[in-house]
A and B are shown apart, each in its own frame.
Chain A
Amino acid sequence: MTEIKHHAYLFDATRCIDCRACMVACSVENNIEMDKTRIWVAGVGIKGEYPELQRGTMVYHCMHCDHPDCMSACPVGAYTKAEDGPVTYNPDLCIGCRYCMNACPFGVPHFDYDKGIIEGAFIDKCTFCPQRIYNGQEPACVQTCPTDALEYGDREELIARAHARIADHPGRYIDHVYGEKENGGTSYLIISHIPFGELGLPNLPATPVNEVSEKVMEITIPFALGWGAILTGVAAGVNLYNKKKEKTAVEEKAEKSK
């Protein structure tokens, strides 16, 4: 394998047979509980009318966004974006607010609603299998895939491969690599024969969805200081004015009484 600067996956919906080996693999590798999963099938399933049918399914897990919204949202910084791709979650910091679930436009993180405070309720999501990729293996889901619908490698290289595959098969794919630009770029790249929306992927611009809120956060402290200063000024002014008024009143009174 060539050196990987930015870990990424490529998913080709035309190859995926919805066998779910990737899901089983993830569950085993990461010892996921029987009623939880980090990876699932989305899509429209079968569409059309007999006998003119089409099938569209895709495998869904964390997109490992370049500008992760989960990370942007988490108040306590439980998420980390590694420089070479993976977005990981640290349960030791999590307060369980579930804001990351709201923030992620892909609906990836999920929460242990079935756990009390003694057992500990946490967020879970795909980790990119660091225990594998940093030991020269492919992520569990990728390695098992019997049709190579899931591939793993360097992001640049996979983007090139995706475009090449689209170019090599005129008419087969939608001419777009989902994730190349979406949400500021993701490490999960998807090519498909049916519209991405039908695979359950949101239609996102190239600017990360956290852009506005991060900007607002940037101006928060200056705003607070400014606002505080203004209020102080107003309060002082009003006070002065009132004092003056009182004084004049007193003086007037004194004058009158003279």
Chain B
Amino acid sequence: MTKTVSRRDFLKLGAASVGALAIGQMLPPKVARAAWDNGALNADGDGHISTMCEMCVWRCGLIAKVVKGRVVKLDGNPDHPHSRGNLCPRGQSGLMNTYDPDRVLTPLIRAGKRGEGIFRPATWEEALDLVANKILEIKGKYGAEAMVFSSTHNLSQPLFENLLYAFGSPNYGTQRSLCFNAMIVANTMTYGMEEPARIYDDKLKYILLTGRNLLEAISTSETHDLIMAIDRGAKVVYLDPRYTKTASKATEWLPVKPGNDLAFHLALLNVIVGENLYNRSFVEKNTIGFDELKKEVHRYTPEWAAPLTGIPAETISRIAHEFAQAAPHALAHNGWRTSNFINSFHTQRAITILNALVGNWNVVLQDAGGEESGTLGAPSQPAYPRISALRLDGVPWKYPVVPFKIGVFQELRDNIVSGDPYQAHGWFISRQNPVMSLPDRGKTLKAFEKLDFIVTMDIILNDTAWFSDVILPEASYLERYDPLVPIGDKVFIRQPVIEPQGDAKSALWVYKQLGERLGIGDFFQYADEEDYLRQQLAPTGISLEEIKAKGYAELREAPHAGESAELNWNTPSGKIELFSETLAKVGFPGVPTWEEPPQPAEDQFYLLTGKVAQSTQFGTQNNQLLHKYSDEPRLWMNSKTAENLGLANEDWVEVTSSVGQIHTRLLVTQAIRPDCVYMTPGYGHLSKGLKTAFGIGAADSAVHVTYTDPISGGQALSQTFVTVKKV
């Protein structure tokens, strides 16, 4: 990207935007004093403080270097299992999110028309009173369910959930249906757990990645694991229509035809079952439904899959053999953002079953998510009121197997627009950017038009905030406490390393304030943030001081799992369900079944999306440090295709789908299938409050068509077909 953001260094930038801080430096700030008490900071406010990254959901451990009350460098915490001393580029750049000159540092109330971006600053008193009054007014007029709440996974989410469930609304939107619903539901249906662990031990020999671009969509420790496994000589087979950086490190890259991964995996099952390559004793002991599976996959021969996937039958067959041979030291990775096609659920089931069939112990036996495990305490709170209203997102009345806390976000949005089964009137959004992250941006904005009141809690004027009525500025992750989080046998802390700038406040504080104003203060029984953390630690006997000093503490009873554990699956049958009764009962195929994905017309392309290492979703493009090292976002197109269309590198093109049209520049590359185009998500922002990011690139969300996988509720992000022409 050639645009020069600013000549000034970012420390100065931060200082320029935060006059208050300079004055605050006269007295040791509160946080600095607390850290000083701990020996983490000296009298001048210099030192190192341990905390946790929040640039993405992986939450690596950090050690923040603080000089005179300003954070100047973040390093990975070597003791943290997610960072091991390393940080990805986003983690490295985190302090620039905090010192972003575009930070919102005081509550804002809309003063112009929606979307005009005219706001006036307000006090927290005024803003919170206004929010509470509006919400209560909506409840009074239309019932609590007319308030929609949505938030993307974060550490204060339990308190956010308190807010809505205690208030009485069933309408909870999370990012999950845009992200990993297919994977989560498939694992739940098969193993009774959301996400099995993936252990990259020394013995791991074979890794099958289906669209998991682990070397760009980074999770620091797992990315490290993968590279080290490759270093040790593990074979990596990678399916992706694009030649990503992961593809470049894989032993074998298979440019599969989008949506047809299912055919590939069904054919693997066919070979493994048909040629008796599976682990018979494991299957007999631990699974049910093998016969149903065998009957179904019988027809999915490699020869059948070859034309669908574009992968030769011999290759498929060979991979099946290699995979089975490498088992149990093999891993078929589910992927993470598995929201690709309406058949993605079946793909996920097939992958999950693949691991079970060959008895990949390291994969199927351990739960990956330990974050919400109940080893910690919590403030006491009353039971939630019973909520009788239907959920707007169709769970479970339309999506019977989608878990409640997962939901179907895009459907929620659609039903705000349709007013069916009832009309929503307000939306509280925290730590989320649905204007960008939901498909069909035009429709999301239409949903906004239907609403009387929208409030957003964020740290910058993201696109959603831009269209909101009230914006509540949260303290950034370097400025606040969040609830403690246990990972494995340790518990980790996020603690402020600098004073919050301006008027920014922690979510723990904001939710409590709102709770009290909404008459549900009982659900927020903590005096302040530290008190909340102390109540969490109460059952463990660990002191807050200890954990603050080190950044983490060992939990006395480590939740353990592993081969020794008595095999007991949290499914209705207590076994791994190759055939799922649950699915069958609600009318879905009980075993993975071929479902033809739709195909683009002659002149259309699959529009692919996928992360780049230098940004997270839709919220970090304004980070100047990341912007500095980002490539210009352009529409990827295969060189041959471009030649046929008479398009050249850097040409401006018009990309059109059935719901929208965008203009962007072309990147002609060898690194993509000829029938696909690709766009980096997170550009084409609408908010002019993002001075660095505004005006760069285009938004794939503006052309994404909304399709929902009927089983998992996952959005089908690769199922949008577009035409491309020169402008």
Contact = CB atoms under 8 A, between A and B. Distances in A.
A144 interface: yes
A137 B75 CA distance: 10
A56 to B, nearest CB: 9
B150 interface: no
A54 B626 contact: no
B255 A21 contact: no
Contacts of B220: 146
B295 interface: no
Given A34-B4, A46-B243, A46-B671, A144 B628 contact: no
A74 to B, nearest CB: 26
A48 interface: yes
Contacts of A25: 87, 92
Contacts of A137: 75
A143 B86 contact: yes
B223 A146 contact: yes
A31 B12 CA distance: 10
B69 interface: no
A169 B7 CA distance: 45
A32 interface: yes
A34 B8 contact: yes
A54 B11 contact: no
Contact of B625 (A17, A27, A46, A53): A27
B670 interface: yes
A137 B73 CA distance: 13
A6 B249 CA distance: 31
B233 interface: yes
A14 B96 CA distance: 30
B638 A35 contact: no
Interface in A101-146: 114, 137, 140, 143-146
Contact of B255 (A23, A29, A51, A146): A51
A147 interface: yes
Contacts of A169: 233
B231 interface: yes
B5 A35 contact: yes
Contact of A17 (B4, B92, B216, B228): B216
Contacts of A21: 86-89, 91-92, 613
B629 A148 contact: no
Contacts of A50: 243, 255, 638-640, 670-674
A4 interface: no
A17 B613 contact: yes
Contacts of B245: 17-19, 55
Contact of A28 (B85, B218, B248, B625): B625
B74 interface: yes
A170 B390 CA distance: 62
A205 B14 CA distance: 47
B87 A20 contact: no
A173 to B, nearest CB: 11
Most buried by B among A21, A27, A140, A143: A21
B407 interface: no
Contacts of B87: 21, 25, 144, 146
B224 interface: yes
A28 B629 contact: no
B9 interface: yes
B657 interface: no
B156 interface: no
B73 A146 contact: no
Most buried by A among B74, B220, B247, B625: B625
A32 B89 contact: no
Most buried by B among A20, A33, A143: A20
Interface string A231-252: 0000000000000000000000
A18 to B, nearest CB: 6
B172 interface: no
Contacts of B629: 20, 23-24, 27, 37
A19 B74 contact: no
A181 interface: no
Given A33-B7, A46-B670, A144 B92 contact: yes
B16 interface: no
Contacts of B75: 137, 140, 143-144
Chain B binding site: helix, strand, loop or mixed by DSSP? mixed
Interface residues of A, number: 38
B498 interface: no
A20 B671 contact: no
- How many chain B residues sit at the interface, stated as a range, is 35 or more
A15 B625 CA distance: 23
B361 interface: no
B76 interface: yes
B6 interface: yes
B511 interface: no
B89 A24 contact: yes
A49 interface: yes
A35 B248 contact: no
Contact of A46 (B9, B640, B669): B669
A220 B95 CA distance: 53
A248 to B, nearest CB: 77
Contacts of B76: 143-144
B334 interface: no
B351 interface: no
Contacts of A149: 227
Interface string B74-94: 111000000001111101110
Nearest to B638: A50
Contacts of B233: 169
B13 to A, nearest CB: 8
Given A50-B670, A144-B75, A19 B613 contact: yes
B495 interface: no
Interface string A145-163: 1111100000000000000
B618 interface: no
Contact of B6 (A19, A34, A53): A34
A15 B614 CA distance: 18
Contacts of B613: 17-21
B347 interface: no
B95 A55 contact: no
A8 B220 CA distance: 24
A48 B671 CA distance: 9
Nearest to B92: A24
A191 to B, nearest CB: 12
A48 B4 contact: no
B89 A19 contact: yes
Contacts of A49: 670
Contacts of A31: 9-11, 72
Nearest to A21: B89
A31 to B, nearest CB: 5
Contacts of B478: none
Contact of B253 (A23, A27, A51): A51
B636 to A, nearest CB: 11
Contact of B5 (A34, A37, A51, A54): A34
B224 A147 contact: yes
Interface string B629-646: 100000000111000000
A187 B85 CA distance: 23
Interface string A27-66: 1110111110100000000101111011100000000000
A24 B628 CA distance: 8
Kindly list the 9 A-B residue pairs having the minimum CB-CB distance in the complex, ordered from nearest. Answer: A55-B248, A19-B613, A24-B92, A21-B89, A147-B227, A17-B215, A20-B629, A50-B670, A146-B86
Given A21-B87, A55-B248, 5 more contacts: A19-B245, A31-B10, A33-B8, A34-B8, A50-B243
15 contacts: A20-B613, A21-B613, A27-B629, A29-B73, A32-B9, A34-B5, A35-B6, A37-B628, A51-B255, A53-B253, A53-B670, A140-B73, A143-B85, A147-B224, A169-B233
